[in-house]
Amino acid sequence: MSLHYLPAITLNIAILVLLLVIALKRSHQLAFYITGAGLFIACFSQCSLLRASHLSELHFSDELFSFSSMSVVLSVLLLGILIFIWLQLHTWLEKHEANHKEEFYLLLLLAGLGALGMIVSEHFASFFLSLELMSLSFVGLIAYSQSQPNSQEAGIKYLILSAVASAFMLMGIAIIYLQTGSLSFQYLAENLNNTTPSSMLFTIGLIFILIGLLFKLSLVPCHLWVADIFEGAPLPSTALLSTVSKLASFVVLWKLFHLGNWQENQVVLTLIGMVAVASMLIGNLLALLQNSILRILAFSSISHFGYLLILLFLFNHNADLLDNPTFPLEALLFYLSAYLITLTGAFSILMKLEEEKSLEALTGLFWSKPLHAASLSIVMLSLAGIPLTLGFMGKFYLVTASISYQVIWPLPFLVIASVIGLFFYLRVIMVMLSSTQTRHSSPSTAGEVASLWFIILLVMSLGTFPALFADTIKSVVG
């Protein structure tokens, strides 16, 4: 047992206490505070880990889990996102859910725990367990709303999707297990490097796992229904789904890719390449046609993860022009955190707006709620990758990494996709600009204003002065 397990233990305790409290005495306030306490303690313990010890001492692994400075940072990011969403949750639930508000926190914590586990998993068993913990909690989160009829439909769709994904992943795991007789990542990494090029069966196993992960990341051939789920689910669930779940899944994808000799596996590489290109283009093209801001975000997230897939090509690629072997990792971390921070911001802004689903509901927002509109615009620009925002720095890192590793071919697609992306990001802004009628709007509370300013400042300041952030990431990775 080491200090590394503290966050997970904290979350576990919080979950049990919360469950008990809900059973004995239903109180929204109480549930809110217990969740907050759990998340904060987990986050602080994780941060103190980062602070206290030397970075290289963070590495620790046992049979099922392995911790590194990278995983610690990712966990902090994850917990940060959870905390940020949690902060907005109380108001939102008060406004939108008539009864049974408390279980939402429970599911949130469970999903968080699952994601946390995925980030540090080092064994197919632990990975699978955490994944399912997360996915099943998400089904609950998505189907949560009873007032909203579409929510159940979205829930069942997500359930089937995630079940299919897990089935495929499991099949892949089983095939690999059949081939190698081990479920440990470490074992795979060690034994695949020095054996002959992987066999047919092994490749099939990898492809099965990939398909499963692609479902989780909703990348292109597996992207159906994603937008439906985004639209039907309650907003905080959508926010969690698109941040927490994707973060964890991508980390696993990266981890798997990092191990073994996938890089030499031409079939897998081709597959990923095709998926990356298709995701970039199709994600953004489909987003063009959407009329709901949530669907736009859903499809744009497809293409963002398409961009991220490019980075997978850089690992183990020898032609590094910058003599900096960890740079792709830095870029990955930077892009991932930039995107997730921005997206969390976007969702929390949407959570503050009453009519959030359709694009028309945002008409004239600039004049009725200037701060909301301004922050939403900045977030959109960040997603589009306009300079001085966090999103741009992410994209800059990504492009730099891929150019320095001479992986040029995806870049034209990236440019095309980005330009297509501009269309709909700007469309959101334009809708907010149109109609000068000043609608009556309820005054914002101080907390709301504060969090909006926080989003603006975070996105802008990290985008304008990324030095500190970049150095942190470098020290973590290097």
Partner 1 sequence: MMLFTLVILPLIGGFLACWSQRVHQDAPKWIAAICTLVTLAFLISIKLTNNIENLELWLVDEPRAWIPRLNITAHLAMDGLSFVLLLLTLLMGLVGLSSAWSEINQHKGFFYGNYLWTLAGIIGVFLAMDLLLFFVFWEVMLVPMYFLIAIWGNENRRYAALKFFLFTQAGGLLMLLSIIALTVIHYQQTGILSFDYQVLVQSPIQSELAKWICLGFIIAFIVKLPAFPFHTWLPDAHTQAPTPASIILAAVLLKTGGYGLLRFVLPLFPESAQFWAPLMMTLAGVSIIYGAIMAFSQTDLKRLVAYSSVSHMGFVLLGCFSFNFYALQGAVMQMLAHGLSTSALFMLVGLIQHRFHTRDLNHLGGLWHTLPKLSAMGLFFGVASLGMPGMGNFIAELLVLLGAFKQAPIFAIVASSGLILAAVYSLRMIQKSFFGMNLNLETSFSDKKSSDNSSKNDLDNSSAGLRAKRLNDAHTHHITDLSVKEGLTLMLMCLGLIIMGLHPQPIFTLVNSSLMEILSLIQSPLQPESPLLEVQL
Partner 2 sequence: MIETTWVIILSFLLFAIGTFGLLSRRNLLFVLLSLEIMLNGIILLFVAASNLHGNNDGQIMYLLVLTLAASEVAVGLALVVQIYKQQQSLDVDTLTKLRG
Partner 3 sequence: MVSASFIFYSFAIIIVTLTMLLVSHALNPRGQKRKNSYPYESGIVPVGDTNIRWNVNYFLIAISFVIFDIEAVYLYLWSLVVLETSWPGLTTAGLFILALFIALIYEIKQGAFNWGKRQQGE
User: How many Cβ atoms sit within 10 Å of the Cβ of residue 468?
Assistant: 10
Span 420-439, contacts to partner 1 by CB under 8 A: 422-423, 426, 429-430, 433-436
Torsion, Cα 437 443 446 451, to 10 degrees, reads -40
Residue type, 57: E
Does 24 engage in binding with partner 3 (CB under 8 A)? yes
Among 20, 178, 224, 288, which residue interacts with partner 3 (rule: CB under 8 A)?
20
DSSP letter for each residue of 332-384: HHHHHHHHHHHHHHHHHHHHHSSS-SBSGGGTTHHHHSHHHHHHHHHHHHHHH
Minimum CB–partner distance for residue 64 and partner 3 (Å): 14
| Secondary structure element (H or E) that encloses residue 425, with its range | helix 410-433
Give Cα 21 distance to the centre of its chain: 30
The site that binds partner 3 (CB under 8 A) totals a number of residues, namely 6
Determine the interface stretch with partner 3 among 20-28, 107-115, 121-129, 269-277 (rule: CB under 8 A): 20-28
DSSP letter for each residue of 275-336: HHHHHHHHHHHHHHT--BHHHHHHHHHHHHHHHHHHHHTTTT----TTS-TTHHHHHHHHHH
Minimum CB–partner distance for residue 92 and partner 2 (Å): 21
Whether residue 114 contacts residue 121, with contact meaning beta carbons closer than 8 Å, is answered with no
Span 381-410, contacts to partner 1 by CB under 8 A: 381, 386-388, 392, 396, 399-400, 403-404
The residue among 30 and 388 lying less far from partner 1, judged by its C-beta, is 388
Place of tokens 């063009």: 288
The residue among 205 and 410 lying less far from partner 2, judged by its C-beta, is 205
φ and ψ at 2, to 5 degrees? -135, 175
Among 3, 6, 19, 285, which residue interacts with partner 3 (rule: CB under 8 A)?
19
The residue among 40 and 177 lying less far from partner 2, judged by its C-beta, is 177
Joined together, the tokens standing for residue 426 give 């700007």
Does 2 engage in binding with partner 3 (CB under 8 A)? no
3-state class (DSSP) for residue 450: helix
Determine the interface stretch with partner 2 among 69-77, 224-232, 275-283, 345-353 (rule: CB under 8 A): 224-232
Per partner kind, with CB cut-offs from 5 to 8 A, the member of partner 1, partner 3, partner 2, none near residue 19 is partner 3
Does 23 engage in binding with partner 3 (CB under 8 A)? yes
Residues in the chain: 478
Minimum CB–partner distance for residue 418 and partner 1 (Å): 6
Does 1 engage in binding with partner 1 (CB under 8 A)? no
Torsion, Cα 448 33 242 215, to 10 degrees, reads -170
Does 453 engage in binding with partner 1 (CB under 8 A)? no
Joined together, the tokens standing for residue 26 give 């239903």
Among 12, 27, 150, 358, which residue interacts with partner 2 (rule: CB under 8 A)?
150
Minimum CB–partner distance for residue 126 and partner 2 (Å): 10
Judged by the rule CB under 8 A, the positions of this chain that interact with partner 3 are: 16, 19-20, 22-24
Judged by the rule CB under 8 A, the positions of this chain that interact with partner 1 are: 321-322, 330, 366-367, 381, 386-388, 392, 396, 399-400, 403-404, 411, 415, 418-419, 422-423, 426, 429-430, 433-436, 465-467, 470-471, 474
